[in-house]
Amino acid sequence: MSPSPAAPTHCPYCALQCGMMVGRDDNGAWAVSPRDFPTNKGGLCRKGFTAASLLDSPERLKRPLLRREKRGALEPASWEEALDFVADKLIAIRAASGPDAIGVFGGGGLTNEKAYLLGKFARFSIGTANIDYNGRFCMASAAAAGLRAFGLDRGLPFPLEDIPEASVIIIFGSNPAETMPPIMQYFEEQRRRGGRCIVVDPRRTATAKAATDHLQVTPGTDSALANGLLHVAIQRGFADKAFIAERTSGFEAVRRVVARYWPDRVERITGIPAKKIEEIAELCGRAPSLMALSGRGPEQQSHGVDNVLSFINLVLALGQSGKRNAGYGCMTGQGNGQGGREHGQKADQLPGYRRLDNVRHRAEVAAVWGIDPARLPKPGLSACELLDEAGRAIRALLVFASNIVVSAPDALALAKRLGALDLLVVSDFFLSETAEIADVVLPVAQWAEEEGTMTNLEGRVIHRRPVKPPPEGVRSDIDVMVGIAARLGDDTLGKSADNVDDEFRRATAGGAADYAGITRERIDAEDGVFWPCPDAGHPGTPRLFLDRFATPDGRARFHAVEHMEPAERPDAEYPYFLTTGRILTQYQSGAQTRRVPSLVAAEPAPFLEIHPDTAALLSIRQGDWVHAHTRRGAVTLAARLTPDIRRDTVFAPFHWSGAGAANALTNAALDPISKIPEFKVCAVALERASAPTAPASAREILHS
Ligand SMILES: Nc1nc2c(c(=O)[nH]1)N[C@H]1C(S)=C(S)[C@@H](COP(=O)(O)OP(=O)(O)OC[C@H]3O[C@@H](n4cnc5c(=O)[nH]c(N)nc54)[C@H](O)[C@@H]3O)O[C@H]1N2
Ligand SMILES: Nc1nc2c(c(=O)[nH]1)N[C@H]1C(S)=C(S)[C@@H](COP(=O)(O)OP(=O)(O)OC[C@H]3O[C@@H](n4cnc5c(=O)[nH]c(N)nc54)[C@H](O)[C@@H]3O)O[C@H]1N2
Ligand code: SF4
Ligand SMILES: [Mo]
């Protein structure tokens, strides 16, 4: 095959949405080359570079698979048979148990148009209230905190180009050097200009090493740290009284609470020396411009919303919000983690960041759909609650773009719940671990075979362009939804799908996340357009809150936060903290990146990071097998000794399944507001093991 001209598009993976060219190389294989786009400035990480190799992967699903007998094997089926099978079951379940017995689970990797249509498919075609998505595992705490404090949730309220302009940046619980490598260009530039960058993380990560300061906190103590910093800053007279009076409300309660977080006490909670807390507070207090950026570290906790709010309090009290080159931002995760949470695949939400419990919002969306607002269901169950009801109130689950068997917390319990369903349907392009246990697997097109828009971590809407047609036998997620809807008696979803670009933008018009003016032509001409952008003449909004916050009175709101312990703390039986997260060369559940040979070669197996002193106490040497167990499950992992982690903490990446699946260990304790699970903190016991335990696949758990 001869090389084909490369076409411009974006990486399928993370929220940076790096620009790339995709075409055939001299050997006829699909290949990626970097493209100069404002987010990545020509940079790409190894995952992005190798993404196109999966387009022609021999493991690609090209025919629907059907489990005709409950305990039988998955066998090839025609599309007609597979969709008929799904629809017949759904109709029977709906008749017996009502529409809410059908759950829909979406993903932050879906385009805006697909996320929009999935919400309509669930609420209108099926009529269920119960749709939620994997973003609930991701930035739900930051989103809830942003809504509470600023009246609006957009990951970063400013473009990346503002980062180098900030004089001081606090990165709390994010490791972009591994999770978004090209973004480091902006932090490096900030340092070159003499800025200070403080990383708060229990591990001395690649990001911490690139920073000027590292605060190696005890897991689960970010809010105590933020309260301590604010305590010192107020005591030293750095509170911005004019800003607080003019642009905020609720400061007094925060002042009272943080008065009790004197540095010695905060040192005892966080492990950060009081002197260091004073130094950093002074630095923040004097900073001409301060940014605080959060990642999943403090967010994926049972007090995730409070953790974020406590840093927002610091930024607000110092007058470092609602102006250029300053403010709080969340570094969103998945490719469309941002857009995916704005357009209706979240349990409480309608397109345009509208709310299902708001009468006006319901009427606006119902008008676009041409239905009576009463036909819209009430808010449904959030992701973990939905999965917990599987096989109980939820009888059927349709999964689009998530590999929950690997990525949800307390995975062994989840596998049992999924096994109790009457019907599990998975739409994917690979036989993920979740697809493996499904009753029906529907093979769909990949990123470079479809067109749509995505919204990156800055709120910049970008254009995903098709580079090649999908392989024969493969359909799109949209075809799947339309095919099922039609069999359920809804012929209108097909019409919506034909004009989904247009209908989607109309459905957002007038909402907080207004995309009405964001056409693909504009995106191409302007390197993306920032929402809100209500009409064709509007320039888009790279910077939010400069004049006013998005609350009804225009003021940002303080929230007094008391530091609270995580749901589980180390004790005599389970003496260490376990935290989980990511490594550079693997993506999420690994369903994609564990199928890329060069990434597998780089990091072939899961491991456990452990401090050499801790390892010595347990007679564990480099590379030894370690049996790690919690109140929920046990795994065996190879020990990776590193002085970069706290002595009381171990770290496991969650990209693998089977015997090394980190989520067999994690705690599904939820934040009461965001309903995010506590992936980042639980208590674990460790012992040296002589051999790895046999891998327990979800399929085996189900049938044991
Ligand atoms: N290589 C790679 N890149 C990715 C992804 C991937 O899977 N692989 N996934 C994408 C997605 S969906 C997301 S959400 C982002 C996530 O991006 P990040 O938020 O950067 O990733 P994590 O590794 O989950 O967590 C960040 C850090 O939190 C720290 N941490 C743990 N507990 C605490 C705590 O109590 N307090 C503080 N302050 N820190 C703590 C961990 O040590 C870890 O270094 O990455 C995106 N990019
Ligand atoms: N222990 C622990 N667990 C975690 C986390 C953690 O830090 N620690 N982080 C959590 C976070 S932040 C996240 S975002 C989740 C992510 O976890 P998952 O939701 O499992 O994310 P992926 O592994 O990306 O799974 C996406 C699946 O959908 C497929 N897919 C991709 N794009 C499409 C598409 O357009 N259509 C369809 N139909 N399929 C598609 C992929 O092949 C893959 O099988 O994991 C969470 N789990
Ligand atoms: S940083 Fe994210 S968007 Fe960029 S190439 Fe890597 S995975 Fe893709
Ligand atoms: Mo995420």
- Give the pLDDT confidence of 86-134 residue by residue, as tens digits: 999 999 999 999 999 999 999 999 999 999 999 999 999 999 999 999 9
150 inside domain: yes
- Strands 327-330 and 290-294 turn out to be parallel
Confidence grade of residue 688 (pLDDT, cut at 50, 70, 90): very high
630 inside domain: yes
Same domain, 392 and 299: no
Same domain, 108 and 171: no
C-alpha 425/C-alpha 228 separation (Å) is 48
pLDDT higher than threshold 60 for residue 388:
yes
Q: Each residue of 393-415: pLDDT tens digit?
A: 999 999 999 999 999 999 999 99
Q: Each residue of 444-459: pLDDT tens digit?
A: 999 999 999 999 999 9
Range of the domain at 466: 65-137+337-492
**Ligand 3 pocket test: which of 18, 174, 179, 655 has the largest number of ligand atoms within 8 Å of its C-beta?**
18
How many domains does the chain divide into? 4
Same domain, 363 and 247: no
| Mean pLDDT of the chain, nearest integer | 97
**For residue 351, what are its two tokens?**
């397109």
> What is residue 692's predicted lDDT score, i.e. its pLDDT?
74
Q: What is the DSSP secondary structure assignment for residue 623, as one 8-state letter?
A: T
Same domain, 193 and 313: yes
Cβ–Cβ < 8 Å for 217, 271: yes
Q: What is the DSSP secondary structure assignment for residue 483, as one 8-state letter?
A: H
Sequence-separated (6 or more) residues with CB below 8 Å from residue 163: 169, 186, 187, 189, 190, 291
pLDDT higher than threshold 90 for residue 702:
no
pLDDT higher than threshold 80 for residue 345:
yes
Residue 432 near ligand 2, beta carbon < 6 Å: yes
Residue 205 near ligand 1, beta carbon < 6 Å: yes
Same domain, 326 and 359: no
Of all residues in the chain, what percent are helix, strand and coil, respectively (each to 5)? 35, 20, 45
101 inside domain: yes
- Of all protein residues, whose CA lies closest to atom 36 belonging to ligand 2? 401
**For residue 592, what are its two tokens?**
């994609």
Residue 169 near ligand 2, beta carbon < 6 Å: no
Task: Using the 3D structure, point to which of 475, 492, 509 is the last residue of a domain.
Answer: 492
Confidence grade of residue 70 (pLDDT, cut at 50, 70, 90): confident
Cβ–Cβ < 8 Å for 132, 383: yes
Task: Kindly report the CATH number assigned to the domain that includes residue 588.
Answer: 2.40.40.20
Same domain, 471 and 603: no
Sequence-separated (6 or more) residues with CB below 8 Å from residue 334: 13, 14, 15, 107, 108, 109, 134, 135, 138, 340, 588
Question: Average pLDDT in the 679-692 region?
Answer: 94
Task: Kindly report the CATH number assigned to the domain that includes residue 92.
Answer: 3.40.50.740
Task: Give the distance (Å) from ligand 2 centre to CA of residue 103.
Answer: 18
Task: Kindly report the CATH number assigned to the domain that includes residue 13.
Answer: 2.20.25.90
> What is residue 701's predicted lDDT score, i.e. its pLDDT?
61
Same domain, 342 and 485: yes
Task: Using the 3D structure, point to which of 449, 476, 492 is the last residue of a domain.
Answer: 492
Task: Give the distance (Å) from ligand 3 centre to CA of residue 149.
Answer: 30
93 inside domain: yes
Q: How many angstroms separate the Cα of 429 from the Cα of each of 342, 435, 480, 596, 654? A: 25, 10, 13, 14, 21
**For residue 632, what are its two tokens?**
């929920």
Whose tokens are 């148009």? That residue is: 113
**Ligand 3 pocket test: which of 32, 180, 184, 457 has the largest number of ligand atoms within 8 Å of its C-beta?**
180
> What is residue 700's predicted lDDT score, i.e. its pLDDT?
64
Task: Kindly report the CATH number assigned to the domain that includes residue 191.
Answer: 3.40.228.10
Q: Which residues of 202-223 are buried (b: 16+ CB within 10 A; e: fewer)?
A: bbbbbbbebbebbbbbbbbbbb
Same domain, 17 and 164: no
Same domain, 21 and 73: no
Task: Using the 3D structure, point to which of 331, 366, 394 is the last residue of a domain.
Answer: 331
540 inside domain: no
C-alpha 287/C-alpha 197 separation (Å) is 12
686 inside domain: yes
